[in-house]
Structure 1
Amino acid sequence: MISMLNEPIALGGLRLKNRLIMAPLQQYMGTSEGLATNHHIEHYGRRAQHVGLIILESTAISPNGRLWGNDIGIFSDQHIEPLRKVTDAIHAHQTPVFIQLSHGGRKSSPEVTNSLVAPSAIAYDDYYGIPKALSPVGIEHIIHEYRLAAKRSIEAGFDGIEIHAAHGFLIHQFMSPLSNKRTDAYGGSAEHRARFLKEVLCEVREEVGRDYPVIVRISATDYSKKGLTPTEWVRMLQPLEAELNAIHVSTGGITPVQPSDIYTAYQLPHAAAIKPHFTIPVIAVGEIYTHSLANRILEDQLADLIAIGRPLLEDPDYAERMLIP
């Protein structure tokens, strides 16, 4: 009998050959202009044969939202062709690829960011410094940048989009009460804090259409009693479910506080807590590195797909062995 890890699954109008995903992990190999390079072509192409889906590393939608000075971006038409070469290399193995669209907000790189912005003028730490609170006009501008990035993503050959709303970056900053102290329509209640994500999703969805997969990556917990929890994420995401095709559950990043212990499947309880409240698939990630564990998670309906990252950095063929019962 075929294992669940090897079973196909649909994300929107896209059918994946199995339920193992290559998670987005930075390569720190972009040019100073944020262009993808031959490293990205070779790196992703080499790892594309066995996984059901690749999610490309965080890709900046704005020159002022880059996470590092050597990351990649999609904030100009100049970025399209280099990224097209990456998607072509992945498609050569009949494997689909999503782009992860991001804006660093208050965690954007000081090396390449001219204007550090956030929902509120609260610093992440001394290294990044105090950001400027976004005006309604500034918010509207960034939402439009997401739409332009979505348009370019299709032109670059991506099969879907992951909206990065995790790890302390801009959308997460709007969602979390630790970083969002606004008193306007984008702050206060959970519904208001989710408004920025809602408007980004609506703009992206309007650009790409209903059948094109759009998923979201979240940090289910802020590792703080006053921060986000899976329960609050459920409350904020349920009204947005019609715009989404999956929820990718990670943790942390809104403050420098780290989990007290990283152990096998340490983030799984958060995915499992979120899953019963949605009909769309939930992706689990975090130290799930064996076939038996991944398959048991799927069989127990704790998640619908499994994402792995670091083992594939060390061994391009790791997915092949993980898929073998």
Structure 2
Amino acid sequence: MIAAVSLSLETPLAIGRATIRNRLVMAPMQQYKGTPEGLATEHHIQHYGRRAKGIGLMIVESTAVSDNGRLWPNDIGIYSERHVEKLKRVTDAVHAGQTPIYVQLSHGGRKSAPEVTSRLIAPSAIPYDAAYGMPAELTVSEIETMVEHYRLAAKRSLAAGFDGIEVHAAHGFLIHQFLSPLSNRRNDPYGGTPLARTKFLRDVLAAIRSETGSGYPVMIRVSSTDYAVGGLTPRELALMLQPLEAEGLIDAVDVSSGGLLPVEPADVHPGYQLPDAAIIKQHLRVPVIAVGGIRTRSLADRILRHGLADAVAIGRPLLEDPDYGLKMLNSVQ
């Protein structure tokens, strides 16, 4: 049983060598407002700047590391130098609210938007569904090129003024596809065993670290379960992450779920992903962030007080009300 500890939303939290002022995180939520070239717009500046008050950390929406890996046609990206200036205006707006902002680096793999994807790719030639179609299995040299895309994206993230990086390894996108045995059937160094299935993620993180150094916060977002027999489970995933933690490649884990297959959780209720976050936290030392229907101060404080997670993230409430974070922090416990 996890013992209760004296924590609340106001308690500061260390992520890497940085400390955020409280434990309320704005989760990454797509805006569908990028230009056809993947550039951020005035909408992003206003949207993120308006929501920066009060929260401890902001994570921007999925930001593509390759023009061939955008999740939606109107995604934003960071796959060229042209993207940096526009993203710098976003980070400046958030910093005006004294809030740190992380970029979420992503590649869709077999779930990249068909409208803007010239060649669908994946660790194995297994389709997500008929609408996306059959992906091509990545060669080792293509995987190495993909790792380089992440390195360059990290370099641009620093230039754009981001305070940290979240690597998107959840929701059925490329890195998640490598992690799960349901989508990775390789028998080379990138598949075949749980450790081998983490190699692509490890290489990506190492490449990012080559640009950021060890003190800069780097975290990952994971799907704790594939909601399918034979897929990832919270405990298996946590054990896969332990070597990455030991190498100093990750500073925190943001726990979501699903997305690898076109299936939905049977029951979505307040805190429905929390048990998985708690299991992962039992196996790791780095901070674990819980997300999923956490809308009240009382629930958030119970999560922290009982040590089920180290921080909580909210998404849709902040889309509906830009001041929701401040209201949640100022509400009666």
**Is 2:326 the counterpart of 1:320?**
yes
**Is 2:136 the counterpart of 1:132?**
yes
Report the Cα distance in structure 2 between the residues aligned to 1:33 and 1:303, rounded to whole angstroms: 38
**Is 2:319 the counterpart of 1:309?**
no
Aligned counterpart in structure 2 of residue 215 of structure 1, from 189, 212, 219:
219
**Is 2:306 the counterpart of 1:300?**
yes
Question: Which residue type is aligned with residue 298 of structure 2?
Answer: S
Aligned-residue offset at 1:261: 1.4
Identity, % of aligned pairs? 61
Report the Cα distance in structure 1 between the residues aligned to 2:327 and 2:50, rounded to whole angstroms: 15
For 1:258, the equivalent position in structure 2 comes to 264
Aligned counterpart in structure 2 of residue 196 of structure 1, from 197, 200, 204:
200
Query: Could you list the runs of 5+ residues in structure 2 that have no partner in the other structure?
Result: 1-5
Report the Cα distance in structure 2 between the residues aligned to 1:141 and 1:234, rounded to whole angstroms: 27
**Is 2:126 the counterpart of 1:115?**
no
Larger mean Cα displacement after TM superposition, 255-264 or 27-36? 255-264
Q: Secondary structure at the match of 1:211?
A: coil
Report the Cα distance in structure 2 between the residues aligned to 1:107 and 1:83, rounded to whole angstroms: 24
Aligned-residue offset at 1:277: 1.2
TM-score by length of 1: 0.99
Report the Cα distance in structure 2 between the residues aligned to 1:17 and 1:231, rounded to whole angstroms: 30
Q: Secondary structure at the match of 1:98?
A: strand
Aligned counterpart in structure 1 of residue 43 of structure 2, from 22, 39, 42:
39
1:34-73 to 2 correspondences below 5 Å: 34-73=38-77
1:1-325 to 2 correspondences below 5 Å: 4-241=8-245, 242-324=248-330, 325=333
Aligned-residue offset at 1:32: 0.1
Do the aligned residues in 1 keep the contact of 2:7 with 2:304 (CA within 8 Å)?
Answer: no
Moved over 4 A (4+): none
Aligned-residue offset at 1:252: 0.1
Question: Which residue type is aligned with residue 35 of structure 1?
Answer: L
Do the aligned residues in 1 keep the contact of 2:60 with 2:104 (CA within 8 Å)?
Answer: yes
Query: Could you list the runs of 5+ residues in structure 1 that have no partner in the other structure?
Result: none
Question: Which residue type is aligned with residue 269 of structure 1?
Answer: P
Report the Cα distance in structure 2 between the residues aligned to 1:88 and 1:141, rounded to whole angstroms: 31
1:316 to 1:221, Cα distance in 2 relative to 1, 3 A: same
Report the Cα distance in structure 2 between the residues aligned to 1:276 and 1:251, rounded to whole angstroms: 17
* Alpha-carbon displacement from aligned partner over 1:245-280 (angstroms, at most 9, x marks no partner): 100000000000110111010000000011011111
Report the Cα distance in structure 2 between the residues aligned to 1:16 and 1:288, rounded to whole angstroms: 19
* Alpha-carbon displacement from aligned partner over 1:113-141 (angstroms, at most 9, x marks no partner): 11110000110001110000000010000
Aligned-residue offset at 1:3: 6.0
Count of residues paired in the alignment: 324
Aligned-residue offset at 1:316: 0.3
Report the Cα distance in structure 2 between the residues aligned to 1:245 and 1:189, rounded to whole angstroms: 24
Report the Cα distance in structure 1 between the residues aligned to 2:317 and 2:105, rounded to whole angstroms: 23
* Alpha-carbon displacement from aligned partner over 1:153-193 (angstroms, at most 9, x marks no partner): 00000000000000000000000011001111111100011
TM-score by length of 2: 0.96
Aligned-residue offset at 1:310: 0.1
Aligned-residue offset at 1:38: 0.2
Aligned-residue Cα RMSD (Å) equals 0.8
Report the Cα distance in structure 2 between the residues aligned to 1:227 and 1:257, rounded to whole angstroms: 12
Report the Cα distance in structure 2 between the residues aligned to 1:207 and 1:44, rounded to whole angstroms: 25
Larger mean Cα displacement after TM superposition, 8-17 or 30-39? 8-17
Do the aligned residues in 1 keep the contact of 2:78 with 2:156 (CA within 8 Å)?
Answer: yes
Question: Which residue type is aligned with residue 215 of structure 1?
Answer: M
Question: Which residue type is aligned with residue 72 of structure 2?
Answer: W
Report the Cα distance in structure 2 between the residues aligned to 1:45 and 1:95, rounded to whole angstroms: 9
Report the Cα distance in structure 1 between the residues aligned to 2:290 and 2:63, rounded to whole angstroms: 21
Aligned-residue offset at 1:15: 1.2
For 2:3, the equivalent position in structure 1 comes to none
